[in-house]
A and B are shown apart, each in its own frame.
Chain A
Amino acid sequence: QQQVKQSPQSLIVQKGGISIINCAYENTAFDYFPWYQQFPGKGPALLIAIRPDVSEKKEGRFTISFNKSAKQFSLHIMDSQPGDSATYFCAASMHNFNKFYFGSGTKLNVKP
């Protein structure tokens, strides 16, 4: 059973547009939700993270929106740039254990 479901699988956005990636989870014990960015041949890099006591967190062009009742969270990339082209993974963990359950990933392609 996949604990974290991610969509879409791939996304094409024009430069300057907004990229939106969605994730849903089942386990209400999850209490930490990070997003990772991964370039080909590299390990995942932490982008931004949120806890369920807030509904939104913004860092620069990246925003996480969190809906606790719906058990969903999303990543918004504003003013998307070609350099943002990468694979993005949402993840979730619980109870102060850094055992992450990852989504299946979204390959983002930002066209110039």
Chain B
Amino acid sequence: DAGVTQSPTHLIKTRGQQVTLRCSPKSGHDTVSWYQQALGQGPQFIFQYYEEEERQRGNFPDRFSGHQFPNYSSELNVNALLLGDSALYLCASSRSDRLGTEAFFGQGTRLTVV
């Protein structure tokens, strides 16, 4: 079992550009959540996808959007990048029939905005 995989591992973008991050959930998992982790802080919830729909959203602007595909993989898109968007972006997967239990995180994508 490959676990949760994210790509790319590192990314450097220029302010104002757009970025797409990708996540493949753990085998058997159908729910994907995205988190932003600034340096030295705990992860902050961005949004969650289930059945290709955004089910919950945290306190993030509309510049942050996502998508879930029929195979449960997911993308996070960020438009009009700001310097403050520099962070580790984490994907977490879980089973919808076992929510409120364990969620597994990928290794993250380190985004640097210059």
Q: Do A and B come from one complex?
A: yes
Instruction: List residues of chain A with CB under 8 Å of any chain B CB.
Output: 4, 6, 31-32, 34, 36, 41-46, 49, 89, 91, 93-105
B76 CB to closest chain A CB (Å) equals: 14
B18 at the interface (CB under 8 A from A): no
Contact-size category for B: 20 to 34
Instruction: List residues of chain B with CB under 8 Å of any chain A CB.
Output: 4, 6, 31, 33, 35, 40-45, 48, 55-56, 58, 90, 92, 94, 99-108, 110
Q: A43-B90, A104-B41, A105-B42 are known contacts. Are A96 and B100 too (CB-CB below 8 A)?
A: yes
Q: Chain A residues with Cβ under 8 A from B48's Cβ?
A: 97-99
Q: A98-B94, A99-B58, A105-B42 are known contacts. Are A45 and B105 too (CB-CB below 8 A)?
A: yes
In the complex the two chains form, is B42's CB within 8 Å of A98's CB?
A: no
Q: Chain A residues with Cβ under 8 A from B101's Cβ?
A: 32, 49
A74 CB to closest chain B CB (Å) equals: 17
In the complex the two chains form, is A42's CB within 8 Å of B108's CB?
A: yes
